[in-house]
Structure 1
């Protein structure tokens, strides 16, 4: 029997209220579901979410190298795979349930550290998380975690944080949970937020949800702030692949640059100045491409 039975009953009888739903904005093969200037203000520390479906064998769909500071990015694969080949890590492939974690901290340039894998196309989510004052100007930290190293509980892959006794290997801040689920046809599962994690949302990569929380492929749902559990149920027409995020609310105002998110105007100035310093060093470093076509994260 599940340890969450009492919460299952609560979720079934008093559904958690959905406050907003969106299908975002389409940019070719990328759907922007959330940005720091819109829904990120409500869901912080979660401030940005893209759903992408790319053919990285086609150079026209590859991401440009770009900077960040003050935030962390987490890229989760929901279909297909990507190859990583970084001097600081062994080479490998990230498939369903695998992820890249990258804490930009005080400044980084990235965007081509993963290249085309074995699949014709790859689908996944890229999420940005606003860091607190203690981490927003710290050194860069990046990880590539293959699917077999990601713990699971039921249908849930624990991407960030801890859930049901399983802890992600990601070196992420406390107070954040991020799960990837593949729900079999018609099945249901109850998410019970960890204590004090009152911010919650979900997004659907493939398939549909029905019941109290109906959602279509490509849709993102925001929930009212509470610690209430909620139940997700796959349609009888096919499996559903979704991500769920929950967190302790981010207590700081967001100070935004083009690629940066900080907790104060002063830290934003510091982060963006370091990005410019790294730009000069990046140009001086010349061609850094690996044999497989990837370009390692540039930390200076």
Structure 2
């Protein structure tokens, strides 16, 4: 095997967003171009209701897609277009903000665990002002399989391929061609997901300990950034949960101001004017 080179291993950073929701910010902030086409990855994982109860009151987005993947808990989505959805354990919400969505994400529970992820995926310049879209994908409609080594694979987007195993995901997207896989490795197992050459590949270990590319031990809470050429090998001697995200870089300018991600400062200023004037979407 010609294994992809490990470029960096880094921990997430404690953060707060919305009305005070505590998060682990895995991707976001300075140097975001290194993760193109991904803009942000947040993990929320707590059993303390004070960490999530205030939720995310109404706020805008423009220029990208948000993918929310719930592991545990209940979160309700509402937006100014009339969409309403309830995310529960195992469900996925795929929202294409494009030219604009104003939405809220509020917990529908007052106690218990809340665990999951939100990923921001950039849109190409030609799609940033397209019509917004919204889709809820229930757990039961998300393809999954078990490999010969008993690794459970939840195929959210793209395709899982390993030897004879081949499973198309729940979502396929043009331009960025994203792969989003939840890999649940039992103790003593390994998995070799096949990815297209040129795709930027990231691994986030959210549970247990994984060995990546036969050389790097990665504990929970750390992100691995990989080269865009070669093979991928993930092992775990004690068991691990790993979120694999990969996508085709857009190689376009990224200008971000909070919840707006465009290609130029002028487009950001227009987004701010549209939001203030009530002509946002």
Report the TM range for the smaller structure's normalisation.
Answer: 0.7 to 0.9
- Superposed structure 1 runs of 4+ greater than 6 Å apart: none
Q: What is the CA-CA distance between 1:36 and the residue it aligns to?
A: 4.6
Whole-Å separation in 2 of the counterparts to 1:205 and 1:190: 18
Q: What is the CA-CA distance between 1:274 and the residue it aligns to?
A: 2.8
The answer to which of 86-95 and 256-265 deviates more is 86-95
Q: Is the 8 A contact 1:56 1:116 kept in 2?
A: no
Q: Over residues 95-143 of structure 1, what are the superposed CA-to-partner deviations in whole Å (9 max), with x where a residue is unaligned?
A: 13x211111111122232x533597111111111111012111122111
1:147 aligns with 2:161: no
1:219 aligns with 2:219: no
Shift of the 276–249 alpha-carbon distance from structure 1 to 2, 3 Å rule, reads same
Q: What is the CA-CA distance between 1:277 and the residue it aligns to?
A: 3.5
Q: Which residue of 2 aligns with 1:22?
A: 10
Q: Which residue of 2 aligns with 1:35?
A: 28
Whole-Å separation in 2 of the counterparts to 1:90 and 1:34: 27
1:271 aligns with 2:247: no
1:190 aligns with 2:160: no
Shift of the 197–276 alpha-carbon distance from structure 1 to 2, 3 Å rule, reads farther
Secondary structure of 2:170's match? coil
**Bigger proportion of residues as helix:** 1
Shift of the 85–76 alpha-carbon distance from structure 1 to 2, 3 Å rule, reads closer
Q: Which residue of 2 aligns with 1:3?
A: none
Q: Is the 8 A contact 1:75 1:125 kept in 2?
A: yes
Q: Over residues 257-291 of structure 1, what are the superposed CA-to-partner deviations in whole Å (9 max), with x where a residue is unaligned?
A: 1211112334333333333334xx8xxxxxxxxxx
Q: Which residue of 2 aligns with 1:159?
A: 156
Secondary structure of 1:64's match? strand
Secondary structure of 1:148's match? helix
Which consecutive unaligned segments of at least 5 residues does structure 2 have? 17-21, 147-151
Q: What is the CA-CA distance between 1:89 and the residue it aligns to?
A: 6.3
Whole-Å separation in 1 of the counterparts to 2:181 and 2:259: 25
When the two structures are superposed, what TM-score results if normalisation uses the length of structure 2? Answer: 0.82
Q: Over residues 148-175 of structure 1, what are the superposed CA-to-partner deviations in whole Å (9 max), with x where a residue is unaligned?
A: 1111243221212233343333363342
Q: Which residue of 1 aligns with 2:202?
A: 201
Q: What is the CA-CA distance between 1:92 and the residue it aligns to?
A: 4.9
Q: What is the CA-CA distance between 1:57 and the residue it aligns to?
A: 5.1
Q: Which residue of 2 aligns with 1:286?
A: none
Shift of the 69–36 alpha-carbon distance from structure 1 to 2, 3 Å rule, reads farther
Q: Which residue of 2 aligns with 1:64?
A: 57
Higher relative contact order (CA 8 A, sep 6+): 1
Q: Is the 8 A contact 2:199 2:228 kept in 1?
A: yes
Shift of the 230–169 alpha-carbon distance from structure 1 to 2, 3 Å rule, reads closer
In the alignment, which of 104, 121, 130 is matched to residue 113 of structure 2? 121
* Number of equivalenced pairs: 261
In the alignment, which of 100, 104, 107 is matched to residue 97 of structure 2? 104
